[in-house]
Amino acid sequence: MNRSSLIPLPSIALLFVTLFTGCGQEPPPPSQAQPAAAPASAPQTAQNPTAPESAAPATDSDKWWSALPRAAWSDFRKVDTLNPWFEVYEIVDGVFAIYEPGQYEEVISYLITGSRSALLFDSGLGMGDIQSVVKQLTSKRVSVLNSHAHYDHVGGNHQFDTIVGMKHPFSLQRSLGTPNSELVQFVSGDWVWKTLPPRFVVSDYQTRPWEYSRWLRPGEAIDLGGVSLEVIHAPGHSPDSIVLLDRDRRLLFTGDTFYLAPLYAQLEESSFADYMATAAKLAALADEVDYLLMAHNTPLAESRYLVDLDQAFQAIALERAPFSLTEEGREYQFRGFSILTADPPEDNAPIIEAL
């Protein structure tokens, strides 16, 4: 992955880099400070704060998966599936977390069901057959909506007929697909520890292209029948990031905008300024929701973290937050999460929005 983007470039030039050569894929695992070229040695341990520091020679206890299973999942009803690559839990009535703990991202997609139809909020890595899991969970018509277009959230899109989205150049570029050469590192070595899904071939792993069926209008609510979901643009981690608000049930699906691990504001497609504005916007929802449903590692966090996230960005902007230097920038540590930025943070300016 190309991480040279921390060097500011003229926005037009960078747009071409971003749109046509394919900017980096999803960053290294959300949960960690970095394995830029992938964990030949195990990924470092930010994903799992309790994991041992790297020691040589490495043993399984040094690996990222030594943090599994994560205790938080035991709070929820597990749904048996025929596909062992996925674990499925019912988080609230009719809302299923489809979790892929076998790969370092530990990505979580959500199937949200209503009385008439269902929405798959992210389609995972595309390593296993997520469509078969969805079919097991609902017989209703299913649409896919992505929290953003990083590879670990769109991998199963190609299996579905109906993809809705917010029209954005970043999503459109990713919908053309991402080749094996850019993604193979994420399914090799210590990035994967579980038995690979049936018929999965490392050398053929790619993001297959998908076509959008319909564009959502800004502020449009998705009505599934008794379940209404509001789409809120939340740029920062990526320019096309959205969050999904279930106002009636006081839930917010946060994608990669918030989870309890290092948050990525340092990618070439990230914008610190946008992320900060998003954090302020979401903090205003803290009293309107009870829980956040997150896209990595563990499913549920209290909504007070929205306030914490806003305060964290403000502290960074005011240079009142301590940080440590990483290979690609800074890491600011807060209670329950950290924020990775460029060095200094404001160097990572808006990219596509600037055009």
Least separation in angstroms between residue 222's CB and Zn ion is 21
For the chain, how many helices (H) and strands (E)?
Answer: 7, 18
- Which helix or strand (DSSP H or E) is residue 214 part of? strand 214-215
Question: Cβ closer to Zn ion: 26 or 274?
Answer: 26
Binding part of the chain for Zn ion, among 52-60, 105-113, 161-169, 256-264 by CB under 5 A, reads: 256-264
Least separation in angstroms between residue 176's CB and Zn ion is 18
Binding part of the chain for Zn ion, among 168-176, 220-228, 244-252, 253-261 by CB under 5 A, reads: 253-261
Question: Cβ closer to Zn ion: 23 or 130?
Answer: 23
Check binding of 158 to Zn ion (CB under 5 A). Answer: no
Exposure on the CB side of residue 287, measured as CA atoms within 13 A: 1
Binding part of the chain for Zn ion, among 13-21, 26-34, 190-198, 274-282 by CB under 5 A, reads: 26-34
Least separation in angstroms between residue 319's CB and Zn ion is 26
Q: Which residues make Cβ contacts (< 8 Å) with residue 74, sequence separation at least 6?
A: none
Binding part of the chain for Zn ion, among 150-158, 200-208, 212-220, 286-294 by CB under 5 A, reads: 150-158
Q: Identify any residues that bridge with 339 across adjacent strands, giving them in sequence order.
A: 263, 332
Question: Cβ closer to Zn ion: 26 or 190?
Answer: 26
Cβ contacts of 207-210, under 8 Å, gap ≥ 24:
207/126, 207/151, 207/154, 207/155, 207/174, 207/177, 207/178, 207/183, 208/126, 208/157, 208/158, 208/177, 209/158, 209/175, 209/176, 209/177, 210/154, 210/157, 210/158, 210/160, 210/163, 210/175
Question: Cβ closer to Zn ion: 26 or 308?
Answer: 26
Question: Cβ closer to Zn ion: 106 or 256?
Answer: 256
Q: What share of the chain is helix, strand, coil (3-state, %, to 5)?
A: 25, 25, 50
Q: Identify any residues that bridge with 164 across adjacent strands, giving them in sequence order.
A: 145, 214
Least separation in angstroms between residue 325's CB and Zn ion is 23
Binding part of the chain for Zn ion, among 21-29, 169-177, 310-318, 338-346 by CB under 5 A, reads: 21-29
User: By Cβ distance, which residue is nearest to Zn ion?
Assistant: 150
3-state secondary structure 221-260: EEECCCCEEEEEECCCCCCCCEEEEECCCCEEEEECCCCC
Rg of the chain over CA atoms, in angstroms?
19
Question: Cβ closer to Zn ion: 158 or 237?
Answer: 237
Q: Which 78-137 positions form the footprint of Zn ion (CB under 5 A)? A: none
> How many CB atoms within 10 Å of residue 21?
10
Q: Applying CB under 5 A, what is the total number of residues that bind Zn ion?
A: 3
Cβ atoms of residues 113 and 249 within 8 Å? no
Least separation in angstroms between residue 74's CB and Zn ion is 26
Using DSSP bridges, classify how beta strands 141-145 and 163-165 pair: parallel, antiparallel or unpaired.
parallel
Least separation in angstroms between residue 217's CB and Zn ion is 24
Least separation in angstroms between residue 149's CB and Zn ion is 9
Least separation in angstroms between residue 18's CB and Zn ion is 15
Least separation in angstroms between residue 343's CB and Zn ion is 20
Q: Of residues 150, 158, 168, 296, which one binds Zn ion by CB under 5 A?
A: 150
Following DSSP, what letter does each residue of 118-143 receive, concatenated? EEEE----SSS-HHHHHHHH--SEEE
Binding part of the chain for Zn ion, among 32-40, 175-183, 254-262, 338-346 by CB under 5 A, reads: 254-262
Q: Of residues 106, 182, 246, 256, which one binds Zn ion by CB under 5 A?
A: 256
- Applying CB under 5 A, which residues contact Zn ion? 26, 150, 256
